[in-house]
Structure 1
Amino acid sequence: MAKSNVLNPHPPEFDRFLYAFVGEDRNGYAVTVLSTLARLGLDPWKETAELVTLGHDAARARLANLLARSRDVPALASDHGRIARNLSQLLPEGRTPGRAKQAASSEADSHLGTSGAIWAVLAIIFVLFQFLLVGGSGSGE
């Protein structure tokens, strides 16, 4: 079983790419690849895993397409191709497609397992609370 990091369950190989600066938004805030993908409604880690599984040229083309869809960062509107080319160099190499997919799916599975455990604990607390409320009034023997 792979070692999991509870504080950061995402593949660390993606960090250099995801936290790379892409430009400033219209409000002057720094925007990264991670925030750009999130603003597009995509899961940044899943999308990065998909990019890693593509060949270098296909990943660069897909990334350019995604960056062109971003309307928040003026620099991306005119220069998305060059920025995508530079960013694609930051994608991790040497990973097999299966390992990249496995990293993304195991990250998603860990979130599902954690949220399931949280819901189970909350359900138990709710049942105990209901038992105390109803059981405390008694039937009047």
Structure 2
Amino acid sequence: MMAPPNVLNPNPPEFERFLYASVGLDRNGCIVTVLSTLARLGLDPWKETAELVTLGRDDARARLGTLLARFRDVPALASDYDEVAQDLSQLLPEGQTSGSLKRAASTVADGRPGTSGAIWTVLAIIFLMLLIFIVGGSGSGE
């Protein structure tokens, strides 16, 4: 049985265009992305994006504007957060157009763990067993 192609990255790829978009430059001149912004605000970027998708474009723009207004690491946002929120909301995938996107968004928003957690646990156990075997078998023996 083959694993689904998104086992190692359970997050919807449709979110990437939005999450990796720039919100502006920080005080050091570095580009700050939506993903970084949401994380710095203490939010799970994929979960928040999933919730924005399920809200619809206008409500998502309003919610995003509220979040950007709280974000202080990008000085230019102080005066332009509504315009930036408008531009960024256009990058959100349309939740109504794809049943699979809505399912993925609701799965992320609900915070239900996928099978990837179990897979990583099994891989970690295998790695530890292999490590114990290698270290335990490397003695000189008498």
Q: Label 1:54 to 1:109 Cα distance change in 2 as closer, same or farther (>3 A).
A: same
Runs of 5+ unmatched residues, structure 2: none
Query: Is 1:116 aligned to 2:138, yes or no?
Result: no
User: Displacement, 1:47?
Assistant: 1.2
User: Displacement, 1:105?
Assistant: 6.3
Query: Is 1:66 aligned to 2:67, yes or no?
Result: yes
Is contact 1:14–1:91 with CA below 8 Å preserved after alignment? yes
Q: Secondary structure at the match of 2:49?
A: helix
In terms of fraction of residues, the more helix-rich structure is: 1
Q: Label 1:73 to 1:110 Cα distance change in 2 as closer, same or farther (>3 A).
A: farther
Q: Label 1:67 to 1:108 Cα distance change in 2 as closer, same or farther (>3 A).
A: farther
Q: Deviations over 1:58-81 (max 9, x none)?
A: 111111111112111112222111
Matched-pair identity in %: 58
- Larger gyration radius, structure 1 or structure 2: 1
Under a length normalisation based on structure 1, what TM-score does the superposition of the two structures give?
Answer: 0.74
CA RMSD, aligned part only?
A: 3.2
The answer for the alignment partner of 1:47 in structure 2 is 48
User: Displacement, 1:83?
Assistant: 0.6
Q: Secondary structure at the match of 2:32?
A: strand
Q: Deviations over 1:30-72 (max 9, x none)?
A: 0111111111122211111111011211111111111112111
User: Displacement, 1:123?
Assistant: 5.9
User: Displacement, 1:85?
Assistant: 0.8
The answer for the alignment partner of 1:86 in structure 2 is 87
Is contact 1:49–1:104 with CA below 8 Å preserved after alignment? yes
Q: Secondary structure at the match of 2:58?
A: helix
Aligned residue pairs total: 136
Distance 2:42 2:69 in 1: 14
Describe how 1:1-141 pairs up with structure 2 within 5 A. 3-5=4-6, 8-93=9-94, 94-96=97-99, 97-102=102-107, 108-121=113-126, 124=129
